[in-house]
Amino acid sequence: LKDALTDGGCLVLFDGLDEISDLTIRRLIRDEIERFITDYSAIPSGATFNRFLITSRVAGYEVVVFQHYWHITVAALREEQIKDFLPRWCRASLPTPEMVGPDKHKALLQEADLTAQRVMSAITASSGARKLADNPLLLTLLVVLQQNRVELPRQRYKLYSAITTMMLENRNADKFLPAIEEKQAIERLG
């Protein structure tokens, strides 16, 4: 990795700066990121260069802004973008035809398309679900719930609650791990 950075062939992603709750530590991390970028921005050959991307929610970013960099805010998804995203996302997680056979794969494709249609119908029918679908992460969570046959919530806190419950019930069972009590998981996640 160090060789690749020195040669200038990397895209480096610093994700979730806003998740550092202590502002003093967040400022220190910002300073370290700036130092890292400075160290690996000047490539002797000049023919290649590293790229750096820092992500953060706006609310947590304002207090430690990186002043010398471009700032881009991801806009809410438009309806046509949601319509484009849904079938692609639903199909992207399918096993390949080689893994399950062509007939099973065809059936899975049909189910993926049906899931995308159900989510789009729910979004169209409910202004609450539509507001959730503006955000790519929340839209993805809506799809995951639909794939697991959970009724789609219309409020953000209910979406988070439903996805947490589903993950607690399914994730550990799928991995043959002991169940975690919801109360204990909420305390840890909090």
pTM higher than 0.85: no
pLDDT for the residue 84: 94
Q: At what angle do helices 156-174 and 136-147 cross, to 10 degrees?
A: 50
Query: CB of 116 within 8 A of CB of 90?
Result: yes
- Return the DSSP state at 52: E
pLDDT for the residue 60: 67
Handedness of CA 110, 113, 118, 119 (dihedral sign): positive
The C-alpha atoms of residue 131 and residue 187 are separated, in whole angstroms, by 27
pLDDT per residue of the chain (190 residues) written in tens, 0 to 9 = 889 998 888 999 998 888 888 888 988 998 999 999 998 987 766 677 899 998 887 776 676 678 888 888 888 899 999 999 999 999 998 888 999 999 999 999 999 999 999 999 989 988 888 888 888 888 988 888 888 777 777 777 787 788 777 777 777 777 777 777 778 877 877 6
pLDDT for the residue 86: 94
pLDDT for the residue 63: 61
Query: CB of 51 within 8 A of CB of 98?
Result: no
